[in-house]
Amino acid sequence: MKVTEHLAQLGLELPVPITPLGSYKTVAVSGNQLYVSGLGPFENNRPIVGVVGKDVSLEGAQRAAQLTMLMILACIHQTHGLDNIDRCLRLTVYVRAEQSFTQHPQVANGASDLLLALFGEDTLPARSAVGVHTLPMGIPVEIDSIFELKRSS
């Protein structure tokens, strides 16, 4: 099944891809790898803001991570087409959290679980989940990633 069909089957829609907020590309390619800049969660074309463990719950942060992954996929779809993606190789998930918050891996699952549903367990990426003090625009989650394009036959 194509990735775009699988997204629709899951009842998910891609957001409007964000345009770069500075001097960078959202998606850069090298060989058969796509490097996706750090992106954050948007809902109704507006960034989600807050601090995890303070004014964003664990569940809200997981949803923010899922929305961030949807934004990543939207940017990939715009530049290379989602159905040309073989898998995600690497995720780095930055969580803007209060000092005592320790559930960063569970927040990252919001993004990883979407990849699991789309691409399968055998293709889960390597991943880091890191707590940070601040993120651009006050967003609670930022994710950068590396994806692999399907090889042409």
Q: 3-state SS of the chain?
A: CCHHHHHHHCCCCCCCCCCCCCCCCCEEEECCEEEEEEECCEECCEECCCCECCCECHHHHHHHHHHHHHHHHHHHHHHHCHHHEEEEEEEEEEEEECCCCCCHHHHHHHHHHHHHHHHCHHHCCEEEEEEECCCHHHCCEEEEEEEEECCCC
What is the predicted pLDDT for the residue at 39? 97
In contact, 40 and 137? CB cutoff 8 Å: yes
Unique residue bearing structure tokens 């601090």: 51
Q: Kindly report, residue by residue over 46-99, the tens digit of the pLDDT.
A: 999 999 999 999 999 999 999 999 999 999 999 999 999 999 999 999 999 999
Q: Does 1 score more than 90 pLDDT?
A: no
- 151 — pLDDT class (breaks 50, 70, 90): confident
**CATH number, domain containing residue 28:** 3.30.1330.40
Q: Please give the model's pTM, rounded to 2 decimal places.
A: 0.96
Contact 69, 110 (CB under 8 A): yes
Give the count of domains, the chain.
1
Give 91's contacts (C-beta < 8 A, 6+ positions apart). Answer: 108, 111, 112, 115, 125, 126, 127, 128, 143, 144, 145
Answer yes or no: are the C-beta atoms of 53 and 88 closer than 8 Å.
Answer: no
Cα separation, 58 vs 68, whole angstroms: 15
Residue 57 belongs to what domain range? Answer: 3-149
